[in-house]
Amino acid sequence: MNRKQKADLVATLLDKYVPNPKIPLKHKDAFTLLIAVLLSAQATDKKVNEITPALFKLASTPKKMSEQSLSDIEKIIRPIGLYKTKAKAIKNLSKILVEKFHSKVPKTFEELESLPGVGHKTASVVMCHAFDVPAFPVDTHIFRNARRWGLSSAKTVKKTEEDLKTLFPKKDWNKLHLQIITYSRQYCPAKAHKIEKCPICSKLHQAS
């Protein structure tokens, strides 16, 4: 099978096993999604979802967040990795949103990536799930399984993203991003992976 055939098979099986994927991070708008995604770097979604209710009770708008002390933000997000760096980023980006963007989360990659603590993956998640702009955020699950499924041999996240964008229709990128993450956690984990327990790996193996 060539890469395009593999991609078509993967898409078909994802629609079967994960027809309606949900965004795993709890949020209510673009700002709370941005903060949740920022917090999720080197942390599990489960841990982030345990932390954010208290954080958003303290402040759920850029203005309110910018007015909080670093120590108050740190106190809440302490169980998350890199909490000091993230607390500083959250406070500073909130201040920038108030002063430069009228307290609104910007709707372009360039503007999002100019904010403290916001890299391309974070910007991509916000663009696709807050603003419905086609993007293909590549996290550890997607990076791993793009290689495992023979969809990309790239050694960088950036090149993997480019490869996936050429294989799948643009209209499906946002859904596929969530489907792959959800499927990977359930059927195709990094550790203790068994081909026979993964429908995608099984089918690809049979077809090779």
- Residues with catalytic function: 121, 139
DSSP for the chain? --HHHHHHHHHHHHHHH-SS---SS--SSHHHHHHHHHHTTTS-HHHHHHHHHHHHHH--SHHHHHTS-HHHHHHHHTTSTTHHHHHHHHHHHHHHHHHHHTT---SSHHHHHTSTT--HHHHHHHHHHHS--------HHHHHHHHHTTS---SSHHHHHHHHHHHS-GGGHHHHHHHHHHHHHHH--SSS--GGG-HHHHHHHHH-
